[in-house]
A and B are shown apart, each in its own frame.
Chain A
Amino acid sequence: VTVDDLYRDYILEHYKHPRNFGELQPHDLEAQEHNPLCGDELGVHILVKDGRIEDLRFHGHGCAISQAAASIASEELKGMPLAEVGRLDADWMIELLGIPVSATRRKCALLNLKVVRGAVTGDSAWPS
């Protein structure tokens, strides 16, 4: 079995069997983004209760890094106060992923957080 720094077992596991994947009807918040460089698309549906993310689903298609990032983050995001979501930064996501992310793959790793932050804060410009 080939062992790879980037494509670790848990990354591939999340890629092949993503958590919280699909749509959520009804939902309170939503956003959609695409990475124009690679054509990847990612959307999120969020259900809000008492100022917290009660439930969420993401959907779309993308590379192992962007899909695993969305899957791993989704487990952390459930139950998180919306105010806290707005304060999440790139380091939070990269640390959570736990793999060395090159400059070219940074966009992949952050696509999910960009969508979720966009849905919660309405700011689609992040992280630029």
Chain B
Amino acid sequence: MPPAVDSALRVRDDFPIFTRRFGGRPLVYLDSAATSQKPRAVIEVVAEHLGAHNANVHRGVYALAQEADAAFEGARARIAAHVGAATETTIFTKNATEAINLVAYAWGRTNIGPGDAVLITQMEHHANLVPWQVLCRERGAELRYLNLDEQGELSLEDLDRELARGDVRLLAFAHVSNVLGTINPVAEMVARARAAGAVTVIDGAQAVPQMPVDVESIGADFYAWTGHKALGPTGVGVLHGRREVLERMPPFLTGGDMIANVDHREASWNELPWKFEAGTPPVAEAVGLAAAVDYLAALGMERVRAHEQALTKRMLDGLATVPGLRVVGPPGAERRGALASFTIEGIHPHDIAELADREGVCIRAGHHCAQPLMRCLGVGATARASVGVYNDGDDVDALVGALQTAREVFALDRE
């Protein structure tokens, strides 16, 4: 076995929030799949931008405005480069949800009609499900789902079968599932969809924070993610699109900044990427996100993945010692992202999360914005623990200890 210490990151001190105490206990944060904590480098750069370089972007001739422009457009270039995407086709949105809605409205409303099908999967977050549901209902198209096997994984044969029906205009799927942890074979899925003439949309919200992602080599028409799960601030999301597709699309939101020229009767649109950025964009947030991806790049995304994968393995091993506990999703840590969703026989997930909190352990309970998936799994809710760069083995062990205590509180061994 390779020495486990090689992959371990020791960066908790970079994250000021871990100086906090809850009921005298240190913070054991295992909810990074919901949102990540922020390193000092991000917090300080946002404050510095607002304190020293703040002006509106794209319209000022004065020196301060040019600093703001350079900070914002420089942030775009660094963020694009971090995931192997082109700067001009990297669009800032509010979050991943808005990025996907941009595609559903601007591309979907002009390209989807009666007789067409939109294909998604049973593991989608509501963000990559409801926009397609609404689009299909509005345009008289059919929404179909790729099923999952017992391990929560998709089958490429099922995908081929669906694509062979000849009506699939768009395929949308998660890179990494926020509930199951499943890592989907994105490049293979995109290649198959392209061969069948379908446009592809990938929800990369869970992938970008935890593994190397190369948007160019994945080759999807659209790749969406969000800043706040990737150590960045809230309020900034990212959509990467293929130039040919973006150029043929009408704008999503209209107003200031996205125009080339406006007269009393009509307007023409700005160039990419600004055509899709109406109104003042999230400038300080983008600057903060650029600092976040710089921070991640300095750690090395391979190392981030190795660190989180080792912790996930330790977590899965620990969870396996808790009687009555069932983990959903792929077996082992290699085929899953850095999370585990689980149920414990005899304790509702909300009660699990409440009792974990008594020990300072933050985990999430509920449907994780994936109600159709919960129905597939035959559960109303699960508890979910997810790890980030700042976690260590003690955090994972604290979770397992808290779950044992929860079983004692519920007196499950006295039944």
Identify which of residues 1-55 in chain A touch chain B, using a CB-to-CB cut-off of 8 Å. 1-2, 4, 6-7, 12, 16, 37-41
Distance in Å from the Cβ of A110 to the closest Cβ of chain B?
14
Contact B351 A1 (CB under 8 A): no
- B114: min CB distance to chain A, Å: 32
| Contact of A39 (CB < 8 Å), options: B346, B347, B351, B374 | B374
B317 within 8 A of A: no
Q: Tell me how many residue pairs across A and B have CB atoms closer than 8 Å.
A: 54
B195 sits at the interface (CB 8 A): no
Residues of chain A touching chain B, judged by Cβ–Cβ distance below 8 Å, are 1-2, 4, 6-7, 12, 16, 37-41, 61-65, 67, 105, 108
Minimum CB–CB distance for A38 against chain B, Å: 5
Residues of A within 8 A of B409 (CB): 2, 4, 7
Beyond the given A38-B349, A40-B381, could you list 8 further A-B residue pairs with CB under 8 A, ordered by the A residue number? A4-B355, A7-B410, A37-B366, A38-B350, A38-B381, A40-B350, A63-B349, A64-B348
A38 touches B367 (CB 8 A): yes
Contacts of A37 in B (CB 8 A): 366
Which secondary structure characterizes the binding site on chain B?
Answer: mixed
| Chain B: interface size category | 20 to 34
Chain B residues lying within 8 Å of A39, measured Cβ to Cβ, are 366-367, 371, 374, 380-381
- The answer, among B366, B408, B410, B411, for a CB contact under 8 Å with A38, is B366
> B354: CB under 8 A from chain A?
yes
Contacts of B380 in A (CB 8 A): 38-41, 61-62
Residues in A whose Cβ lies below 8 Å from that of B374: 39
Could you say which of B349, B354, B367, B408 has the most chain A C-beta atoms within 10 Å of its C-beta? B354
Assuming the A-B contacts A40-B380, A41-B380, are A6 and B354 also in contact, with contact meaning beta carbons closer than 8 angstroms in the complex? yes
Q: Is the CB of A63 within 8 A of B351?
A: yes
Taking CB atoms, residues of chain B closer than 8 Å to A2 are 405, 408-409
Residue of B nearest to A105 (CB): B354
Which parts of B42-94 form the interface with A (CB within 8 Å)?
Answer: none
Nearest CB of A to B34, in Å = 13
Residue pairs across A and B with Cβ atoms less than 8 A apart, 14 shown, are: A1-B411, A2-B409, A4-B355, A4-B409, A7-B355, A12-B410, A12-B411, A16-B415, A39-B381, A40-B381, A41-B380, A63-B348, A64-B348, A64-B351
Bound form: Cα–Cα A105–B357 in Å: 13
A61 cross-chain contacts in B, Cβ below 8 A: 348, 380
Instruction: Give the chain A neighbours of B381 by CB distance below 8 A.
Output: 38-40
Please report the C-alpha to C-alpha distance between residue A67 and residue B346 in the assembled complex, in whole angstroms: 12
Per the 8 Å Cβ criterion, residues 334-386 of B in contact with A are 346-351, 354-355, 358, 365-367, 371, 374, 380-381
